[in-house]
Amino acid sequence: MYNQDKEFLLKAIEKAKESVAHGGFPAGAIVVKNGQIIGSGISIGGFLNDPTAHGEMASIRDACKNLNTSNKQVLNSSSHL
Which residues are marked as active site?
56
- What is the widest separation between alpha-carbon atoms in the chain? 38
CA atoms lying within 13 Å on the CB side of residue 40: 15
Query: Are 31 and 78 a contacting pair, CB within 8 Å?
Result: yes
